[in-house]
Chain A
Amino acid sequence: MKSSRLRRLVAAPYLVWIVGFTILPLITIIYYAFTERGTNSFTFKNILAIRDPIHFNALVLSLWVAFLSTLICLLLAYPLSYILSKLKNGRGRFVVFLFVLPMWMNHILRTLALQNLLSNTGVINGILEFLRLPTLNIMNTPTAIIIGMVYTYLPFMILPIYNSIAKIDDGVIDAAYDLGASGFTVFRRLILPLSLPGIISGITMVFVPSISEFVIADMLGGSKTLLIGNVIEQEFTVGSNWNLGSGLSVVLMVFIVASMVIMQRYDGDGEGAALW
């Protein structure tokens, strides 16, 4: 049929894109992950390299940092989104826009700015010194990494949660009050469950990229703190050991896919999936 041929023709560029930029790289990584460096013979060595204490500690720290960053983002974003969704005349949407605005700037530039703020001779310590208050010494620590992560990924948490709360019909909330519900009951039985899809997609959108994040760790964590993303990056660049890098990437990928599967389970409507 003519129309189906046309449809196939229109879809062709996307197919090329998916094959060229998703499927082929994935196959390449898996190939490298399961082959020996130099000899190209089959091996599990690269995968099992995760048992090396340095790699293992980096993975655990990555998961921990990603978990804390996600939790802090959620605790900051939910009350904010709730308050913003109650504002009238699109004022809430404007504030959300202000929060999202920095996302349009280069990620490295923003992290560099944060470096300037947080460093031991940086702006924040300058102000503290001027006020004769004790200075902070958080540069090159996991704390600095978490601050960087929260700063970078907060908009990804705010946007879906704000949208899900703003979507809740005022009439439904009136109806709950009408049936005798207290403010707390309205929150627990209506607003929280109805905004769950937004929470789920917010968590997914913050947790998944922050597990593999290495730029922030590089610039704010210094050489002292190694995240799994840094380890992989170094294997590919400094170490030139693509096989080991790929092996660790596959391990990381398992964690990412697992976390997404768990999240999707809680997301009854599949709304979070739509955001991805």
Chain B
Amino acid sequence: MEKDIIIDLKDISVSFDGEPVLNNINLYIRDNEFITLLGPSGCGKTTTLRIIGGFLKPDTGRVIFEGKDITDLPPNKRQLNTVFQNYALFPHLTIAENIAFGLKIKKKSKEYIKDKIKYALKLVNLEGFENRMPQSLSGGQQQRIAIARAIVNEPKVLLLDEPLGALDLKMRQSMQYELIRLKNELGITFVYITHDQEEALTMSDTIVVMNKGNIQQIGTPEDIYNEPKNAFVADFIGESNIIDGIMLEDKLVEILGAKFPCVDTGFGRNKPVDVVIRPEDVDLVEPEKGTIKGVVTSLLFKGVHYEMDVLANGYEWLVHSTDMVPVGREVGIFVDPYNIQIMHKPISEDEEASSDEE
């Protein structure tokens, strides 16, 4: 086991009313890491966080914190703090009293608490809010108070359960930078939950993609985006063209009846595979120069790029390009070999669930 591992989840399984929610989760979290649990709703990410926080006991498996088993420890005895999805500020207490809540329980001195409140409010850019009531604050401000209330306790790990979910787009983006800044200033571990893949890619050191109670892939944002391990990850992280293909031999795959050179090896001969091609990796060229020919069927302006659908050999290719090609134009489709991702087809649900890091 590595030395800088702060939290280690071992063989965690949970089911509610006989419905499995987490299937044998194994995950370690490094000290001072920004790790994001990413997945659609119902994938088990919040359940995982509640197990780390101590609000839920796993049916089987252990939670190890700094080498000690804390599986049976209640939340008020754990050295971590949570920022809840709906802020969960105490409505009858002022901002200062909210922030002081944990410190008063720890019987800190009045001066210490006062200093800490001041420091925390400065950290979240809400100086002078001491005597306001939570209801008089905007959603973004309440969220920042919730963060301040958690960090004054100097937790070693901060758990954040979709903290930006209720905010509008602009606020969400500025809070993302705010959180990264906070993380760097505090130098503690952040365990972050979101269903927003863009948020996960922007903020994380490590992303854990989850689906149906299983970990699908663990890796850096670049890994996850560029080398999705299976069709679920590819589909969930950004938009993709996921096409049935046959691996004819090493470095050659057949998609939609055409042969595409690629860089993957070791799949054997004539093996059915999933082929993932990101929309921005599809090049539209002169019809004769492409690997296959198609016709542009729709065109949308998306700001940074154009989004086009190209019908070629019976498949609607999603294409992102800064060059506009009008609807109805015949085009050729070309993909650079290293932009073609080849993945094993899942044999069964269980195989889709296999979750080892390489």
Q: Give chain A's interface residues, CB within 8 Å of chain B.
A: 169, 171-172, 174-182, 185, 189-190, 193-194
15 contacts between A and B (CB under 8 A): A171-B88, A174-B88, A175-B149, A176-B90, A176-B101, A177-B75, A177-B76, A178-B75, A179-B76, A179-B101, A179-B150, A180-B77, A181-B76, A185-B105, A194-B91
Contact A169 B74, CB 8 Å, known A175-B82, A178-B53, A180-B106: no
Q: Flag if B84 contacts A174 (CB, 8 Å).
A: yes
- The docked-state distance in angstroms from the alpha carbon of A179 to that of B106 is 9
Chain A residues whose CB sits within 8 angstroms of the CB of B149 once the complex forms? 175, 179
Chain B residues whose CB sits within 8 angstroms of the CB of A189 once the complex forms? 101
Contact of B76 among A171, A172, A182 (CB under 8 A): A182
- The docked-state distance in angstroms from the alpha carbon of A32 to that of B252 is 106
The yes or no answer to B86 lying at the interface (CB within 8 A) is yes
Contact of B74 among A171, A172, A177 (CB under 8 A): A177
- The docked-state distance in angstroms from the alpha carbon of A172 to that of B150 is 13
Interface centre among A180, A185, A190 (most CB of B within 10 A): A180
Q: Is the interface of A mostly helix, strand, loop or mixed?
A: helix
The yes or no answer to B92 lying at the interface (CB within 8 A) is yes
The yes or no answer to B141 lying at the interface (CB within 8 A) is no
Contact of B88 among A175, A180, A193, A194 (CB under 8 A): A175
- The docked-state distance in angstroms from the alpha carbon of A261 to that of B173 is 49
Q: Flag if A180 contacts B153 (CB, 8 Å).
A: yes
Taken residue by residue from 251 to 263, chain B's Cβ proximity to chain A (1 for < 8 Å, 0 otherwise) reads as 0000000000000
Chain A residues whose CB sits within 8 angstroms of the CB of B91 once the complex forms? 172, 194
In the complex, chain B residues 52-105 whose Cβ is within 8 Å of any chain A Cβ = 53, 55, 74-77, 81-82, 84-92, 101-102, 105
Q: Give chain B's interface residues, CB within 8 Å of chain A.
A: 53, 55, 74-77, 81-82, 84-92, 101-102, 105-106, 146, 149-150, 153
Q: Flag if A178 contacts B90 (CB, 8 Å).
A: no
Closest B residue to A182 by CB, please name it: B76
Interface centre among B55, B105, B106, B149 (most CB of A within 10 A): B105
Q: Flag if A180 contacts B76 (CB, 8 Å).
A: yes
Q: Flag if B82 contacts A178 (CB, 8 Å).
A: yes
Q: Flag if A181 contacts B90 (CB, 8 Å).
A: no
A91–chain B nearest beta-carbon distance, Å = 16
Q: Which 3 A-B pairs have the closest CB atoms?
A: A179-B102, A171-B88, A175-B88
Total number of residue pairs linking A and B with CB closer than 8 Å: 59
Chain B residues whose CB sits within 8 angstroms of the CB of A171 once the complex forms? 84-88
Chain B residues whose CB sits within 8 angstroms of the CB of A178 once the complex forms? 53, 75-76, 81-82, 150
Chain B residues whose CB sits within 8 angstroms of the CB of A193 once the complex forms? 92
Contact A179 B85, CB 8 Å, known A174-B55, A190-B90, A194-B91: no
Chain A residues whose CB sits within 8 angstroms of the CB of B105 once the complex forms? 179-181, 185
- The docked-state distance in angstroms from the alpha carbon of A169 to that of B89 is 10
Chain B residues whose CB sits within 8 angstroms of the CB of A179 once the complex forms? 76, 81, 101-102, 105, 149-150, 153
- The docked-state distance in angstroms from the alpha carbon of A181 to that of B76 is 6
- The docked-state distance in angstroms from the alpha carbon of A185 to that of B91 is 16
B85–chain A nearest beta-carbon distance, Å = 7
Q: Flag if A180 contacts B90 (CB, 8 Å).
A: no
Interface centre among A171, A178, A180, A181 (most CB of B within 10 A): A178
A224–chain B nearest beta-carbon distance, Å = 47
A sample of 19 more A-B contacts (CB under 8 A), given A169-B86, A175-B89, A178-B82, is A169-B88, A172-B89, A172-B90, A172-B91, A174-B55, A174-B84, A176-B90, A177-B55, A177-B74, A177-B75, A178-B150, A179-B101, A179-B102, A179-B105, A180-B153, A181-B76, A182-B76, A189-B101, A193-B92
- The docked-state distance in angstroms from the alpha carbon of A101 to that of B81 is 44
- The docked-state distance in angstroms from the alpha carbon of A185 to that of B92 is 15
Chain A residues whose CB sits within 8 angstroms of the CB of B76 once the complex forms? 177-182
Chain A residues whose CB sits within 8 angstroms of the CB of B89 once the complex forms? 172, 175
- The docked-state distance in angstroms from the alpha carbon of A190 to that of B84 is 17
- The docked-state distance in angstroms from the alpha carbon of A185 to that of B85 is 23
B79–chain A nearest beta-carbon distance, Å = 10
Chain A residues whose CB sits within 8 angstroms of the CB of B81 once the complex forms? 178-179
- The docked-state distance in angstroms from the alpha carbon of A190 to that of B98 is 11
Contact A174 B75, CB 8 Å, known A179-B101, A180-B102: yes
- The docked-state distance in angstroms from the alpha carbon of A177 to that of B88 is 12
Closest B residue to A169 by CB, please name it: B88
Chain B residues whose CB sits within 8 angstroms of the CB of A175 once the complex forms? 82, 84, 88-90, 146, 149
Chain A residues whose CB sits within 8 angstroms of the CB of B85 once the complex forms? 171
- The docked-state distance in angstroms from the alpha carbon of A176 to that of B97 is 12
- The docked-state distance in angstroms from the alpha carbon of A169 to that of B88 is 8
- The docked-state distance in angstroms from the alpha carbon of A194 to that of B87 is 17
Chain B residues whose CB sits within 8 angstroms of the CB of A174 once the complex forms? 55, 75, 82, 84, 88
- The docked-state distance in angstroms from the alpha carbon of A174 to that of B86 is 12
Chain A residues whose CB sits within 8 angstroms of the CB of B150 once the complex forms? 178-179
A188–chain B nearest beta-carbon distance, Å = 11
Chain A residues whose CB sits within 8 angstroms of the CB of B153 once the complex forms? 179-180
